[in-house]
Amino acid sequence: MSRALIIGCGGVATVAIYKCCQNSRVFDTIMIASRTKEKCDAVKKNLDGKTKTIILTSKIDANDFNALVKLMNEFKPDICLNLGMPYQNLIIMDACLEYGCHYLDTAAYEPEDVNEPKWREKYEKRCKELGFKAYFDYSYQWEYSKKFEEKNLIALLGCGFDPGVTQSYVAYAKKHEFDRIDTLDILDCNGGDHGYPFATNFNPEINLREVSAPGAYYENGKWYEIPALSIKDEYDFDGVGKKNIYLLHHEEIESIAKNYPEIKRIRFYMTFGDSYIMHMNCLKNVGMLNTEAIDYNGTKIVPIQFLKELLPDPASLGCRTKGKTNIGCIFKGIKDGKEKTFYIYNVCDHEASFKEVTSQAVSYTTGVPAMCGAMMILNGIWTKAGARTVEEYDPDPFIEALDKYGLPSKKSYNPVMVK
Ligand code: NDP
């Protein structure tokens, strides 16, 4: 019987809330706290009478440390699920430490203002030392590890699908399938069609920052950076069919490289349709993806934030999205002295997700692991304190929980490899 504070009430949070409510024996009481309280109340209303979980709602600005601690002192959570924006990860971690509860998020910290001088100085140094320019990396959150350890608390970083389940697949492959893993390709395919010429399936600001940035992969201890979307291939996905895949930089490459140094090459690919890429390039070329504020008739406007207001809310795509997602990991390595390949993945249906939890599959594949990860902590199954990523914990109970709560995994021992 546990109490969970859920911050944010967008697509991902809505799924996690529905899933907590399907699991009332663990999630006895939840507090949904977000910037727009009406959204929290609307989700609560949809669930009232359908669950034994007690649902409370509150308005919060997650940039306000004192307000966060006050809310925690009043609600007394065992865990705080940060399912809002990654900009607030550090402040929410600080609040969890101050109050004394576990922490979970689904995306690595990145700053809202990438020109803040102190952050910029550290960032430029990292760009030079590591060789990739993404605004996010785990170093800021890993710095909290000791503080969480001292309080015997867990900060579970990046517990969505990717990052999240993909790392658990790595731990699973190492535990059950390989003596040594040599290469890993993470493949994220969204075969869904929402009918709009251009929309993003999760928060537009984070999505467009990620996709328009240079790609990067890790090989023999080094990062290799490439111009955005410049490595392209095609892959035939189970449940979806043939799609173009593009190499991106993604945060779990960093943690997997740290925790599984034996893996010689780690790459991450995502599918994009031609219409998405054409619109994104056009918006980038005209400056609409810029993160720096400009002055418009005396008002400060951040172009990418303004664009977010014009684009469809990802949470509103659910009712019109058809098709499936397929996300997983392809490994090559050695077992009992012999070379071996292995593919583990999940196929998730957009329409079935919407029917069950009123959100499309991209939110579903993120919200379900967030609930399952929280359950691992609350049930005392994952106990290693500190600020850690998913591959550091036993994959078996987590993958079993994912199977039970809607994300069963499929396996292939003879996959087509990416070139
Ligand atoms: P949405 O934009 O749909 O939702 C974000 C929510 O956070 C909104 O309810 C928003 O409030 C709230 N919020 C924003 N700022 C604040 C603030 N300062 N204080 C309180 N609440 C705030 O995003 P998604 O649900 O699509 O994504 C949520 C997170 O999940 C993102 O970090 C995203 O990167 C991550 N993600 C991770 C994936 C994975 O596989 N690991 C995949 C997909 C997403 P309001 O309603 O007022 O706008």
Cα(176) to centroid(ligand 1), Å:
34
Q: Residue 22 CA to chain centroid, in angstroms? A: 21
Q: Measure the CA–CA gap between 23 and 25, rounded to whole angstroms.
A: 6
415 with 164: CB under 8 angstroms? no
Residue 361 burial by Cβ neighbours in a 10 Å radius (0-12, 13-18, 19+): buried
- Determine the average pLDDT of the residues in 7-31: 97
Per residue in 68-114, pLDDT (tens digit) is: 999 999 999 999 999 999 999 999 999 999 999 999 999 999 999 88
In ligand 1, the atom with minimum distance to the C-alpha of 160 is 41
Q: Measure the CA–CA gap between 225 and 221, rounded to whole angstroms.
A: 13
Strands (E), 214-260: 215-219, 222-226, 232-237, 241-248
- Determine the average pLDDT of the residues in 397-406: 98
Say yes or no to pLDDT of 142 above 90. yes
In ligand 1, the atom with minimum distance to the C-alpha of 63 is 18
- pLDDT given at position 405: 98
- pLDDT given at position 156: 99
**Percent share of the chain, pLDDT over 70:** 100
Neighbour count for residue 261 (Cβ, 10 Å): 9
Structure-token pair, residue 187: 């493949």
Decide whether any atom of ligand 1 lies within 6 Å of the 314 Cβ: yes
Residue 210: φ, ψ to 5°: -70, -45
Residue 144: φ, ψ to 5°: -85, -5
Give the lowest-confidence range in 113-117, 347-351, 388-392.
113-117
Decide whether any atom of ligand 1 lies within 6 Å of the 11 Cβ: yes
Per residue in 193-204, pLDDT (tens digit) is: 999 999 998 889
Decide whether any atom of ligand 1 lies within 6 Å of the 315 Cβ: yes
Decide whether any atom of ligand 1 lies within 6 Å of the 84 Cβ: yes
Say yes or no to pLDDT of 1 above 90. no
- Determine the average pLDDT of the residues in 348-369: 96
Only one residue has tokens 């109340």, namely 41
Per residue in 276-310, pLDDT (tens digit) is: 999 999 999 999 999 889 999 999 999 999 999 99
Decide whether any atom of ligand 1 lies within 6 Å of the 390 Cβ: no
**Percent share of the chain, pLDDT over 90:** 95
Residue 91: φ, ψ to 5°: -70, -35
Angle formed by the axes of helices 361-378 and 350-357, nearest 10°: 60
Neighbour count for residue 137 (Cβ, 10 Å): 21
- pLDDT given at position 243: 97
In ligand 1, the atom with minimum distance to the C-alpha of 39 is 46
Whole-angstrom Cα Rg for the chain? 20
- Determine the average pLDDT of the residues in 126-150: 95
Give the lowest-confidence range in 10-24, 43-57, 112-126.
112-126
Per residue in 302-333, pLDDT (tens digit) is: 999 999 999 999 888 999 999 999 999 999 99
Say yes or no to pLDDT of 119 above 90. yes
Angle in degrees, CA 211, 214, 216, rounded to 5: 105
In ligand 1, the atom with minimum distance to the C-alpha of 162 is 40
- What's the mean per-residue pLDDT of the chain? 96
Which string of DSSP letters, residue by residue, matches 240-302? Answer: TEEEEEEEE--HHHHHHHHH-TT--EEEEEEE--HHHHHHHHHHHHTTTT--S-EEETTEEE-
The one-letter code for the residue type at 77 is: P
- pLDDT given at position 22: 98
Nearest to 353 by CA among 365, 361, 341: 361
Say yes or no to pLDDT of 186 above 90. yes
